[in-house]
Amino acid sequence: MFSHKFIVRQLLAVCIGLLATVGLSAQEIKIADPASVVVIVNRDSNDISFMDIKSHKIIGSVFLGNNVNPHMAMMSSDGRWVVTGGTRANKAYIIDVATLTLKKEIAVGFAPEHLAFSPDGRYYYQGNPDDDSVSVIDMVSLTVIKTIRGFAEPLNITFTPDGSKAYVANYGSHWVGVVDVSRHELLKKIHVGSAPAIASIDPERYLGGIKGVSNVSISNDGRYLYAADGDLGIVTVIDSREDKVIKKIPVGADPWRAFMSHDGRYAVTANNGDETISIIDLQSAEVVATLESGPEMMGINFAADKAFVISSTTGFLYVYDMKGLKSAGRIKIGEVQIETSTTDTADEKLYLASSTDNSVYVIDAKTEKVERVANVGLYPWGTHILDSKDNYCH
């Protein structure tokens, strides 16, 4: 039925395959389970380190190069890659998770910072705020296949659950860009609001250093988008089916972004202008509580029915009871500058990057017990866990 040559060739192919597999597993596999690690972005040591979630030991780190300054990292849904943008190197970096090796450096636009994967993991969108562009990287060929231009300081990128569209937040303006993912083209600009009349009186404040939209947060059902605008002090609700603004919710001054509670009930904005948080009930799209917080808020995490607000320069985590919608004290991390945090997939622990003491703090959300993991790298800037609901950056 089969020729002798064919059978020999098949046997040879199987043997080569086996050898390759055995060789690789014996020699190189360092992380067999991508869900078992916390990814740490070390800005000043220019590396990405990987910490075991259970033991809190650093498994290894991947050096990216001198003066790279990685900003944010994310793991692909198949657990195969970790990607990061090097802000000073104008490059994207692709790390093979299993072997902890740098697979590829890819030139992108100026000062890459925030990024996102399409839900199927096929495309990696890298925002380049100083270039007003987004680089589209094909994760199969590991090449830039397109550069989408026309943004205004693009920061965070949010894909719809079906992967058909991506929403790009423009911090240098007051609109959200809608990208058609099938063609990687900017389809539409959704204006979240107009610059106030005072802009003409005080253009330096309102037009000089614009504080626009840093992130577009998405509801659990994927239907609605919430874009906080710093200058306008509002959260604009967008219907993703029609890409139309359906409501503008006034919140505190200079909201950084809306952080979504995991149960899908609330969006919480960190208002750095008046050092408050606004809690928005997503059912009624109304602010149901405005609570005092601290200065320089960088992020909010949710776990154990609480919200943890990171006040960067004070070294405090402000805690809120999300059932009673009231303040629940604060946790002193130390005389340190704390940055951003991720929550584990069990919603039990937070992994907080602390830049000035080169540490990650592990916080038990229920007991509020804090454990320090020192020497994770220089100036840890952010953390990431596969499939966490709190994967964000500054």
Partner 1 sequence: MAFIDLSAMRSATVLKLSLALLLLLDMSLAQGHGVRDRTRAEGLKRDTAVSASQAVELTLTLVEVEQQVLQTWVRTAATIDEAGRVLSATLCSDEQELLKLGQRVRAFPPDSKSSIYQARISALHAEDDCLHVEAKLAGKAYERSPLYVMEVITQRGRFLAVPSEAIIEEGERQIVYVDMSGEADAASAESADDVTDDTVDEKGHYRPRQIQRGLQGELYTQILQGLKPGEKVVTLGSFFIDADYKLKSSEQATSNAHHHH
Binding site for partner 1 (CB under 8 A): 9-10, 13, 17, 20-21, 24, 33-35, 77-80, 98, 119, 121-122, 138, 140-141, 143, 145-146, 161-162, 184, 218-222, 262-264, 344-348, 386-387, 389
Looking at the Cβ atoms of 258 and 386, the one nearer to partner 1 is: 386
Strand partners, 351: 342, 362
Q: In sequence order, what E strands does 43-117 have?
A: 47-52, 58-63, 70-75, 81-86, 91-96, 101-107, 115-117
Looking at the Cβ atoms of 149 and 205, the one nearer to partner 1 is: 149
Q: How far is the CB of 301 from partner 1 (least distance, A)?
A: 13
Q: What is the DSSP letter of 5?
A: H
Looking at the Cβ atoms of 39 and 68, the one nearer to partner 1 is: 39
Q: How far is the CB of 384 from partner 1 (least distance, A)?
A: 14
Looking at the Cβ atoms of 102 and 199, the one nearer to partner 1 is: 102
Q: How far apart are CA 324 and CA 338, in angstroms?
A: 27
Decide: 338 and 384 in contact? Cβ < 8 Å: no
Looking at the Cβ atoms of 105 and 274, the one nearer to partner 1 is: 105
Q: How far is the CB of 366 from partner 1 (least distance, A)?
A: 13
Q: How far is the CB of 57 from partner 1 (least distance, A)?
A: 20
Looking at the Cβ atoms of 161 and 324, the one nearer to partner 1 is: 161
Burial 198-212 (b: 16+ CB within 10 A, else e): ebeeeeeebeeebbb
User: What phi, psi does 80 have (nearest 5°)?
Assistant: -85, -40
**Sheet arrangement for strand 338-343:** 338-343, 349-354, 359-364, 370-373
User: In the block, which residue shows the tokens 């029609």?
Assistant: 242
User: Chain-centre distance of CA 247, in angstroms?
Assistant: 25
Q: How far is the CB of 252 from partner 1 (least distance, A)?
A: 26
Q: How far is the CB of 98 from partner 1 (least distance, A)?
A: 7
